[in-house]
Homo-oligomer: A and B are copies of this chain.
Amino acid sequence: MANTARNPVKSVETTFKVLNALRDLDGAGVTELAQHLDVPKSTIHNYLSTLEQEEYVVKQDGVYEVGLRFLELGAYARHHRKLFRIAKPEVDRLAEETGELANILVEEHGRGSYLYRARGDKAVRVKAHIGTRVPLHTTALGKAILAHLPAERVDDIVDRHGLGGEPPKAIDTREELADALADVRDRGVAFDDEERLEGLRCVAAPVLNHDHEVIGAISVSGPTNRFRGERFREELAQKVLEVANVIELNVTYS
């Protein structure tokens, strides 16, 4: 959980500042990027031309864009995770059988990263892309993970990223969080009742390995009108739990 490198390579930091700015601006020219980052044109030019030479950035009609080699690296990072390889087909099935949106989330650097998302035929449209990072305490997926992390790691994560945040209903205090996590451990599943997004509910279950460590969580989410009463609390919760158990078995024996 080390936070700061002792001898940081500043150019690495700059490189990613440039890449992220390129993403935030949806592509940009040298001058635009330079004033956006408040860095001399020539410096930006050096970085962009190097990144282009290395083929991580593309120049189209005088505009630099984030290149597809990141798709290569990203697809690798995802496929490299055992959880993804094993859980994907199961989550596809979950989406098909429920008709809703099914997700896989893993923890990385104290935040949640969506590893995969499968759409059933009635699945709601949410803006979050694959790879999007979210605070763990604001989603059912995240709470399912936090509930099974060692207490000290949960503390670290809260220290690092805090609680609360933009969703008005978000968990605010450590007591609230502790209660919520105990509840999740009790039930085996975590719920999200429009906490993160208005009108959206979600049931999530953790995926543990043979040493009882969380390696991620899966969920089903959908509109409040289809996620209520028996179906939400019992039927869907049961289904998600079942699928999580299947994944756990496959993770252990393979």
Return chain B residues, CB-CB under 8 Å to A8.
Answer: 46, 49-50, 53
Question: A159 within 8 Å of B by Cβ?
Answer: no
Complex CA–CA separation, A7 to B236 (angstroms): 58
Contact between chains at A52 and B106 (CB < 8 Å): no
Copy total for this chain: 2
Closest 6 CB pairs of A and B: A74-B74, A11-B11, A72-B131, A5-B49, A71-B131, A71-B74
B16 in contact with A49 (CB, 8 Å): no
Q: From B16, B68, B71, B80, give the contact of A66 (CB < 8 A).
A: B80
A11 close to B5 (CB less than 8 A):
no
Which A residues are closer than 8 A to B by beta carbons?
Answer: 2-9, 11-13, 15-16, 19, 23, 26-27, 45-47, 49-56, 58, 65-80, 106, 108-109, 113, 115, 129-133
Q: Contact: B130 with A50, CB < 8 Å?
A: no
CB distance from A240 to the nearest CB of B (A): 22
